[in-house]
Amino acid sequence: MELWDILDSERNKTGRTIVRGEELKEGEYHLVVHIWILNDKNEYLVQKRAQHLKLMPGIWAATGGSAVAGEYDSKVAAIREAKEELGIDLDTNNMTRLMSIRRKDNHADVWLVRENIDLQDISLQAEEVSEAKWVSKEELESMISSGIFHDYGAEYFDNIFRVMKSCLSCEIVKGNTETMGGTILNTKYFHAHQDFAYPIPGLVILASKRHIYSIDEMYEEEAAEYMEVLRKIRAAQRKVLGIDYVYYFYNEDTTHHFHTWMMPRYSWMNQFGRSVESVRSVLLYSKENMKNEENISKVINAAERLYSELNKK
């Protein structure tokens, strides 16, 4: 017998539980999870629901199900569901909660897992799942439009497809891409490099190695290292490059994962003003007007000096 915790509209426990299949009252919700597993080929692992199921028989869908009583942490529920339905143990270090949605009678947490899984290692739960396979973005879109894949809605799939786009930070971590001048600092949880798309000497991009979008997704160890690395890079900018002021910013609404820009402030930038609104103008100017041999040489030299300072024994 499977029990569900009943939640209110704000996800708070009401103290009431019901047996799976019982009707919820108006204003009552339960917790469900969806798990989207993405491999290095930018393919999602999807599964086909068993033909004998009452709800969506024979339809392709995301892995997932309902959290049981006591599983208020949806991550625990996601790990259990993946084990039950696919027979796999998720790499918890590569799990990111992509979004949370309040629907008619449930709160749905959608989890993204970046992991390469051999289909031969999958053990399907015959009571729930009849088939599993990897699909590309184009294949998934075709399955949705033809009606053989459950349609979770346009906004939902916008988020699902967003993370299938190429991520520069992930490519750097994997060693598939190297920035001009190379990585200036590589730690357990972060890497830092000069972004030569905007050739400003000492402009550093500090990115997490794990694919997350927001600072509040960091584990405690990551958060602690983030602040220490940020402080260390800033000290090096001041010491070896003489940079007195730096603008810090990061953007959560991006196809790339979490990264912080550390943009130095130089006197030539005053023509664009000194407020935060000037940052975009400065970056565009550098991109369009500063990619000459002399300036690129200065940028490379700055990156090399930062590397030497940050990596000295």
Residue 167's pLDDT is what?
62
The answer to whether residues 177 and 273 belong to one domain is yes
Q: Final residue of a domain: which of 108, 129, 162?
A: 162
- Per-residue pLDDT of 92-111, as tens digits, reads 777 888 888 998 899 999 99
- Res. 28: pLDDT tops 90: yes
CATH code: domain of residue 71: 3.90.79.10
Domain count for the chain, please give it.
Answer: 2
Q: Are 57 and 130 in contact (CB under 8 A)?
A: no
Cα 13 to Cα 24: distance, rounded to the nearest angstrom: 14
Report which DSSP code applies to 20: T
Q: Is 83 exposed, middle or buried (0-12, 13-18, 19+ CB in 10 A)?
A: middle
φ/ψ of 214, rounded to 5, equals -130, 150
pLDDT, average across residues 258-266: 93
Residue 271's pLDDT is what?
93
Structure tokens, 180: 């001009």
The answer to whether residues 213 and 287 belong to one domain is yes
**More confident call, 196 vs 34:** 34
The answer to whether residues 101 and 206 belong to one domain is no
pLDDT, average across residues 284-300: 88
Residue-range definition of the domain harbouring residue 39: 3-162
The answer to whether residues 201 and 281 belong to one domain is yes
Cα 221 to Cα 188: distance, rounded to the nearest angstrom: 10
Q: Final residue of a domain: which of 113, 138, 162?
A: 162
The answer to whether residues 154 and 292 belong to one domain is no
Residue 7's pLDDT is what?
93
Report which DSSP code applies to 115: -
The answer to whether residues 267 and 179 belong to one domain is yes
The answer to whether residues 222 and 138 belong to one domain is no
The answer to whether residues 215 and 106 belong to one domain is no
If we measure between CA atoms, which residue out of 196, 208, 222, 223 comes closest to residue 291?
Answer: 196
- Res. 285: pLDDT tops 60: yes
The answer to whether residues 158 and 183 belong to one domain is no
The answer to whether residues 102 and 238 belong to one domain is no
Buried b (16+ CB within 10 A) or exposed e, 31-52: bbbbbbbbeeeebbbbbbbbee
- Per-residue pLDDT of 47-79, as tens digits, reads 999 999 988 999 999 999 999 999 878 999 999
Q: Which residue is associated with the tokens 């998934």?
A: 140
- Res. 3: pLDDT tops 80: yes
Cα 130 to Cα 61: distance, rounded to the nearest angstrom: 12
Tell me how long the chain is: 313
Largest CA distance in the chain: 72
Residue 97's pLDDT is what?
83
- Res. 154: pLDDT tops 80: yes
Buried b (16+ CB within 10 A) or exposed e, 114-148: bbebeeeebebeeebbbebebbeeeebeebeeeee
The answer to whether residues 37 and 108 belong to one domain is yes
- Res. 166: pLDDT tops 70: no
Confidence of residue 169 (pLDDT cuts 50, 70, 90): low
**More confident call, 15 vs 1:** 15
Report which DSSP code applies to 254: S
DSSP per-residue string spanning 35-99: EEEE-TTS-EEEEEEPTT-SSSTT-EE-EEEEPPTT--SHHHHHHHHHHHHH-----GGGEEEEE
Work out the mean pLDDT of the chain and round it to a whole number.
Answer: 89
Q: Final residue of a domain: which of 107, 142, 162?
A: 162
Residue 246's pLDDT is what?
95
The beta strand positions in the chain, using DSSP E, are: 3-7, 13-19, 30-38, 44-49, 60-61, 63-66, 95-102, 106-114, 129-135, 183-186, 190-194, 204-208, 246-249, 259-264
The answer to whether residues 189 and 143 belong to one domain is no
Buried b (16+ CB within 10 A) or exposed e, 252-264: eeeebbbbbbbbb
- Per-residue pLDDT of 29-47, as tens digits, reads 999 999 999 987 889 999 9
**More confident call, 308 vs 194:** 308
The region of weakest confidence among 113-127, 200-214, 251-265, 294-308 is 251-265
User: Which range, 90-99, 147-156, 231-240, is most confident?
Assistant: 231-240
Residue 39's pLDDT is what?
87
CATH code: domain of residue 306: 3.30.428.10
pLDDT, average across residues 172-194: 77
